[in-house]
């Protein structure tokens, strides 16, 4: 379980609460949209707003809303009308807004203001007391792997974690060495390297929502806009390390440290404002004790896209790892029959067939 404080402490949790308020009240949605644009560090450059006007000379623009306007509107939102579908939609919007390679978005900036945090506290209390069922609990046995490719391709999923971990380790070493040699030694220079902390190349799976939709279809960080996917059922067993809080991640970093300062310094400085030394877990060594690592929904909302304190010298970031995602470090996972095809429509992902 998680508390209202867990949601209010994490950038993704705060952004989820702000998004839920916007879903519940259209006026709040307009205020949040306008203020997020005004507060976005890329306003007018990387982020622009289009305005449609009728024929003739455009009239004067209405006055920009103030944070005080938003706070008053947010405080008036009644969260008791929120459904599980509303909460899931707000979660998906928060995941979509996550960024590790540039400063926080205007929505994240707005959600982090102390007066806004106070205004959404009743919403946090409601969500913590009435989360969707799938948000609660540890990694489930039945999981789904998502293949972002032609749904008609019946190829089996590739499961060779030992080889994938060796490649991940070699690539991490190579990127650190290259970054130490080539990167400009100043954190705010426009230099980008690796921003993720996941063991790339391993099988990643999720459970399903209360609406029986694989979580990995909708909750994807930095999505490239896929239109079709195949959900492959898998079942897993073995020892699973559960990440429920930022401290769970920090403990993993302390036990299995892998320095990534050179390759992450610039991106994570922009994302968090911290300039220091960075660690991630050494996934090859983690695999000697654990078969899988599962990031709970609460852990994601509390810990993702912020500095995680490891000790007085080291920090870490959970980057590129969605809510309820399990990475499989060993072969304790098996594919099952029953693939399902999904396609994106205006109303979201829709099931179109199964095998």
Give tens-digit pLDDT for 222-245.
877 888 899 999 999 899 999 999
What pLDDT, in 10s, does the model give residues 56-71?
Answer: 555 566 677 899 999 9
Please report where in the chains the tokens 């968090």 appear, as a residue. 272
Query: Do 187 and 332 share a structural domain?
Result: yes
| Whole-number average pLDDT of the chain | 90
Query: Do 321 and 195 share a structural domain?
Result: yes
The parts of the chain modelled with pLDDT lower than 70 are 44-62, 150-154, 186, 188, 353-355
Query: Do 151 and 294 share a structural domain?
Result: yes
Taking the complete model, does pTM exceed 0.85, yes or no?
yes
What is the pLDDT at residue 53? 45
Tell whether 137 is covered by a domain.
no
Query: Do 313 and 268 share a structural domain?
Result: yes
Tell whether 61 is covered by a domain.
yes
What count of other Cβ atoms lies within 10 Å of the Cβ of residue 351?
Answer: 13
Q: What is the DSSP string of 138-196?
A: S--SEEEEEE-S-TT--PPPP--HHHHHHHHHHHHHHHHHHHHHHS-S-TTSS------
Tell whether 161 is covered by a domain.
yes
Three-state DSSP class for 293? strand
Domain span at residue 196?
Answer: 142-354
Query: Do 341 and 261 share a structural domain?
Result: yes
Query: Do 173 and 119 share a structural domain?
Result: no
- The last residue of one of the domains, among 78, 100, 131, is 131
Query: Do 116 and 65 share a structural domain?
Result: yes
Cα distance between residue 88 and residue 130, in whole Å: 12
Give CA angle at 243 (161, 335), nearest 5°.
35
What pLDDT, in 10s, does the model give residues 108-126?
Answer: 999 999 999 999 999 999 9
What is the pLDDT at residue 158? 77
Alpha helix ranges (H) inside the chain: 4-9, 11-24, 26-39, 67-75, 84-96, 106-111, 114-119, 121-129, 161-182, 215-218, 246-255, 261-272, 283-286, 297-303
The residue count of the chain comes to 355
- The last residue of one of the domains, among 131, 152, 172, is 131
CA atoms 14, 111, 4, 9: torsion sign: positive
Query: Do 165 and 81 share a structural domain?
Result: no
What is the pLDDT at residue 152? 62
Tell me the CA distances in angstroms from 32 to 21, 82, 107, 111, 209, one per residue in order. 9, 18, 7, 9, 27
Query: Do 160 and 122 share a structural domain?
Result: no
DSSP state of 80: G
What is the pLDDT at residue 46? 52
Query: Do 66 and 111 share a structural domain?
Result: yes
What is the pLDDT at residue 42? 80
Query: Do 86 and 171 share a structural domain?
Result: no
Cross-strand pairs, 343:
228, 350
What is the pLDDT at residue 52? 43
Tell whether 92 is covered by a domain.
yes
DSSP state of 306: S
Query: Do 318 and 196 share a structural domain?
Result: yes
Tell whether 136 is covered by a domain.
no
Distance, C-alpha 80 to centroid of its chain: 25
- The last residue of one of the domains, among 75, 108, 131, is 131
Q: Domain tally for the chain?
A: 2
Cα distance between residue 234 and residue 250, in whole Å: 29
What is the pLDDT at residue 148? 85
């Amino acid at each position: 379980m998680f508390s209202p404080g867990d949601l209010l402490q994490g950038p993704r949790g705060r952004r989820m609460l702000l998004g839920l308020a916007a879903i519940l009240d259209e006026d709040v949605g307009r205020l949040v949209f306008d203020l997020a644009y005004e507060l976005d560090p890329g306003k007018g450059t990387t982020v622009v707003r289009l305005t449609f006007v009728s024929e003739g000379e455009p009239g004067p623009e209405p006055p920009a809303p103030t944070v005080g306007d938003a706070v008053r509107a947010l405080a008036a939102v009644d969260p008791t009308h929120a459904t599980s579908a509303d909460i899931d939609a707000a979660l998906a919007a928060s995941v979509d807004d996550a960024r590790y390679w540039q400063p926080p978005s205007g929505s994240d900036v707005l959600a982090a203001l102390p007066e806004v945090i106070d205004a959404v506290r009743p919403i946090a209390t409601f969500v913590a007391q009435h989360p969707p069922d799938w948000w609660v609990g540890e990694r489930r046995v039945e999981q789904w792997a998502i293949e972002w490719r032609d749904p008609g391709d019946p190829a089996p999923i590739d499961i060779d974690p030992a080889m994938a971990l060796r490649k991940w380790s070699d690539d991490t070493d190579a990127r650190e060495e290259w970054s130490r040699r080539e990167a400009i030694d100043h954190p705010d220079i426009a230099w980008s390297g690796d921003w993720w902390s996941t063991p790339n190349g391993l099988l990643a799976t999720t459970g399903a929502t209360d609406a029986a939709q694989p979580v990995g279809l909708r909750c994807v960080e930095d999505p490239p806009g896929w239109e079709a996917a195949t959900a492959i059922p898998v079942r897993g067993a073995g020892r699973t390390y559960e990440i429920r809080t930022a401290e769970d991640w920090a403990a993993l970093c302390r036990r299995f440290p892998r320095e990534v300062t050179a390759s992450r310094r610039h991106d994570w400085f922009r994302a968090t404002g911290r300039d220091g030394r960075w660690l991630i877990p050494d996934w090859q060594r983690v695999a000697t004790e654990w078969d899988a690592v599962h990031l709970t929904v609460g852990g994601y909302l509390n810990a993702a896209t912020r500095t995680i304190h490891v000790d007085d010298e080291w920090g870490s970031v959970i980057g590129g790892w969605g809510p309820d995602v399990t990475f499989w470090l060993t072969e304790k996972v098996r594919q099952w029959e029953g693939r399902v095809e999904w396609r994106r429509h205006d109303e979201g992902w829709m099931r179109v067939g199964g095998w």
